[in-house]
Structure 1
């Protein structure tokens, strides 16, 4: 698969798993099931059942973002195979990704096409203040006692 189709499959998978258990889930689910209609009724039913099972897993798990992360590779492969076998699905999947690119899906650490959470941090210091900032890790800091 060429790079552009691989990127579209990854973006589609990220959109799909990020939508699980959100207000956008039903419309996203229906759009993805619709993409698989060209692959036959049996395939469409299998995909619908898989989506329902995956969404239930995300909802029942104590760590939904970890489950979404685990599902990302599976759905990237599924959508990649669909794009290879049914090139006509390309524009529909691209439209789904574009339409779902709302703040409700992107914010709050939702899964991005890279598979990594989107983190944003703004720090400022004024009047001689100091900022020590870190995301996703530890930042040890030692300050000598005053007058040393």
Structure 2
């Protein structure tokens, strides 16, 4: 809320709620301003932000249930807000915990392919074609 992008983000978030009428948009603007003040005055600003996340998650989820067409606008807004953040704030944190002989296969921004067959860890030579010329140096 303390970034240069705050004003633009505030207007865009409030605009999402305009679907519920001008009074709702005005109320959301007031709530955003109140939340920004709360964060600015708190000794633990990051903790205050974290505390507000589930509240705004619920508000946005309710909006999307009532107006599913708002999802695309919200996706665009999120992408714009993330791009406007300083690089250090564009990072995410992922915590993975495996217990009691459990396994965790995790990735951020990529794919995880897992083969759980008993022999999947052994390297095997590629099958050779019958009658191939193994000594010729040609790849098969």
TM-score by length of 2: 0.61
Aligned-pair distance for 1:57?
A: 0.8
Aligned-pair distance for 1:22?
A: 1.1
Structure 2 contact 5–84 (Cα < 8 Å) conserved: no
Aligned-pair distance for 1:88?
A: 1.6
Distance 2:55 2:38 in 1: 14
Residue 77 (str. 1) matches residue 58 (str. 2): yes
1:1-148 equivalences under 5 Å are 20-102=1-83, 104-105=85-86, 107-108=88-89, 118=93
Structure with the greater relative contact order (CA < 8 A, sep ≥ 6): 1 or 2?
1
Distance 1:64 1:106 in 2: 19
Distance 2:86 2:26 in 1: 26
Structure 1 contact 65–111 (Cα < 8 Å) conserved: no
Structure having the larger proportion of residues in helix: 1
Greater C-alpha radius of gyration: 2
| Runs (4+) off by over 3 Å | none
- Distance change (3 Å), C-alpha of 1:111 and 1:36: farther
Computed over aligned residues only, the root mean square deviation of the Cα atoms, in angstroms, reads 2.1
For structure 2, list consecutive stretches of 5 or more residues without a partner in the other structure.
95-140
Aligned-pair distance for 1:103?
A: 6.9
TM-score by length of 1: 0.58
